[in-house]
Amino acid sequence: MILQIENIKKTFTANGKAVKALDGVSLNVSEGELVTVNGPSGCGKTTLLLTAGGLLYPDEGNISLNGLDLYHIPPEKRAVERAENIGFVFQQFHLIPYLNVLENIIVPSITRTPDEERVRELIERFHLTERVHHKPSELSTGERQRVGLARALINNPKFLFADEPTGNLDDINAEEVMKALGDFASKGGGVLLVSHDKRTNVYSNRIYSMDAGKFI
């Protein structure tokens, strides 16, 4: 088991009212699995993903990733775990606007010498050879997401978290993204994907539906 989520709870306060973003959610993801959580906007999907990825403290519950209890280790060790073993793919890409494609891809390797062979492999795999010196503003939506995928994969992570990775994409680009995520899982990685896009379901090993912070 790569990821174990046990009875996670998270409450936010909005306009003076308590909102339960996560209300006792439990979920496991094993090696070789792509698990999808579907649900409408505001149901708690992104909160689940950020909490599971070590970016947002839960109020209650436990999360174990790669054998580490993420929120019972020092923040420095959690940051190292994210950098070395986790990749994130976002709907809004979160590329650095003043860096070109090549520079954006190697950002996670900034504390080490980038593996040039790995960089070339990802650039070719995602059809970015002719775009390596372009800035994000000069790329299509599909190209930006492919850069985001390459960035997530550059350090050979054990686990990927994907937040609406196909939400802004046409069918062709959505299929390419999902095939890449499925390929990563089939080679022994784990993927937790949250989305309201039902096109992702065909690539999933398991599918959960979420509403009001709970699985339904």
Give the start-to-end residue ranges of the domains of the chain. 3-215
CATH homologous superfamily for the domain 3-215:
P-loop containing nucleotide triphosphate hydrolases (3.40.50.300)
pLDDT per residue as tens digits for the range 80-105:
999 889 999 998 899 999 999 999 99
pLDDT reported for residue 51: 96
35: nearest Cα among 208, 210, 214: 208
Q: Which residues pair with 22 in a beta bridge?
A: 10
Query: Average pLDDT, stretch 201-210?
Result: 96
Q: State the pLDDT confidence band at 109, using cuts at 50, 70 and 90.
A: confident
3-state secondary structure of 207: strand
**CB burial string 83-93: b at 16+ within 10 A, e below:** eebbbbbbbeb
pLDDT per residue as tens digits for the range 38-79:
999 889 999 999 999 999 999 999 999 999 999 999 999 999
Q: Which residues pair with 28 in a beta bridge?
A: 4
pLDDT reported for residue 118: 94
